Chain A
């Protein structure tokens, strides 16, 4: 142990450094660009120092992991205790094919399932509906009834794995089918764990898979939160998602702000439905994007935890500390991947995943290198999973908590991201909340504008995307997964057989009961949905009842 602390080796302050060192150096060695910016086009300075954090106090502004406001992480030991859940989103073709992929993933170390549904399912149409033409099984698995859901999880013990389901418009219908499968497997409610995406607000702003108008859509979400709170203690009934907002072209600050403000809207509506904030808030979960700009992303996750903790405590009066901890899933940015030189995507995904881990994510999906071309092949999925395992076990970043905490740059970015997001949140509050803001088209326009500015920056080559606007070369196409038409034909045949063999009078009376419940705004739709699912009423039939009662939403075609 040294007897004395080392003496400072320099007494140069920042002004001296700028005059004596930087100035003369820059005269001979100009910088590469006049202006440096993040992926979100936020200016980045040459150097960050203590001067950038004039009022920063360690105890007050940063604190410790596992303690309010959780900027450094929600657990005191983070990944030294337990690694994040490696959860690969997948689904394609038929329920049989996807069931095989799930078994493959579970054998290779995946620790949670994540279901991708095809577009007809996401839009509440059966596979044989005319609008489903060409879409069945294409970008996810086709699930038209409880029979498909049973096949999807055949041989997978649902009391032991957790399942995430990415579905929004008809989320409660699909959840009802999942709960019916759990019941058939004999899994008690207390052991059923997983997540329903069920975030309809971001559908209106970004992903555009809405079915019903915004207000009845909000009621369905609240119904699931209330039902889950009462009956499914291990289920996250909503995953409040910035991922799609970012994919639609938003900046990091917009992603954060709109997502957190969406979350606040769900909290307000659920409190209005009669729950106490601490009854349900601990089960709220979030879902963020991991884009290319390493530090910007890490700052975003840190700011997210801090804002949410403060909002839950101060705005909603949460007392239970679990209500104030922002838990989140991350997926690497699909929109950042390039069709050109697709193997380069492996590197992009690794950098993005590293940011998610250093930002303290609870679970992570890494995209496959071929996802701008088609659904991923098994080999591409394996590389994506291995990327996470290499970060976990070889890179060393999981060995200490919040490794970038205290970095002048990261702390400044975290602070700026927080302030930027709070500014948006205040503006949306002034509009009367997120539903009102969406009805005015505010977040939609902000996102569209950011997407356009980003595209212009690429086309002017202010942003270089390797293989796209620089370093291009001639290439050979790579092998991709092809989903053939037989999936649609098989699915239609299965539906015909199902409709002919099930007890159709049971189906009709279950659908009639659902209609009455849906018409009563004080009733909870979940029990009637589960009953309808158990009669093998199809997704399309159940959703049609709700379409009749609630109407449908058509977006104004603005650009």
Chain B
């Protein structure tokens, strides 16, 4: 029997061009058997939400290393919710100070990963949240 693969949309919102992390993660998730849609750099929250809807994804992963996460991550969650994607898992990775992690979880970010997080933890989190 063939199971439906977990579908993950990865994107870099805002202006930040640091894409080393997201590309390593894209490859690790693909090798873990997931379907990856990488939108690329400088995506607006609206573009990300539209793509999430069109691609029928289970998970949206954002990478933000510029310090703009408290503006961009909530904006993506809002746009997802507006499109009825309240059950889509939202993960954020990047340079996120400890005090912001709890705040992000409150506004509906389901997981936050900071530098040094092993890709296997990210894979495990996705599998747990989206069995």
Q: Which residues of A contact B (CB under 8 A)?
A: 119-120, 122-123, 125, 131-135, 138-139, 203, 207-209, 247-249, 335, 337-340, 372-375, 448, 451-452, 455, 458-459, 465, 467-469, 477, 480, 482-483, 554-559
Contact = CB atoms under 8 A, between A and B. Distances in A.
A465 B117 CA distance: 12
Contacts of B28: 455
B15 A248 contact: no
A554 B44 CA distance: 14
Nearest to A557: B40
8 contacts: A119-B16, A119-B66, A131-B42, A135-B15, A247-B18, A340-B116, A373-B97, A559-B23
B40 A555 contact: yes
Interface stretch (B52-60, B68-76, B80-88, B103-111): B68-76
B35 interface: no
Nearest to B74: A134
A373 B95 contact: yes
Contacts, number: 108
A424 B65 CA distance: 30
B99 A455 contact: no
A223 B116 CA distance: 41
B66 A451 contact: no
Given A374-B67, A477-B98, A483-B67, A132 B15 contact: yes
Given A459-B118, A469-B118, A557-B38, A480 B97 contact: yes
Contacts of B71: 133-135
B68 A209 contact: no
B88 to A, nearest CB: 20
A67 B75 CA distance: 58
Given A135-B66, A480-B97, A249 B39 contact: no
A374 B114 CA distance: 12
A208 B116 contact: no
A394 to B, nearest CB: 31
Contacts of A135: 14-16, 66-68, 71
Contacts of A340: 116
A208 B119 contact: no
Given A132-B15, A135-B66, A339 B20 contact: no
A480 B70 CA distance: 16
Nearest to B26: A559
B27 interface: yes
Contact of B15 (A119, A249, A554, A558): A119
A176 to B, nearest CB: 22
Interface of B: 14-20, 22-24, 26-28, 36, 38-42, 44, 66-72, 75, 95, 97-99, 114-116, 118-120
Contact of A477 (B14, B70, B99, B119): B99
Given A451-B24, A555-B41, A338 B67 contact: no
A75 to B, nearest CB: 35
B8 to A, nearest CB: 12
B23 A138 contact: no
A339 B67 contact: no
Nearest to A209: B17
B20 A247 contact: yes
A114 to B, nearest CB: 19
A120 B15 CA distance: 7
Nearest to A131: B15
A451 B17 contact: no
Contacts of A134: 14, 67-72
Nearest to A337: B115
A338 B23 contact: no
Contacts of A249: 20, 24
Contacts of B44: 131
Contact of A559 (B16, B27, B97): B27
Given A138-B68, A455-B119, A459-B120, A339 B23 contact: no
B95 A374 contact: yes
Nearest to B30: A559
Contacts of A207: 17-18
B116 A465 contact: yes
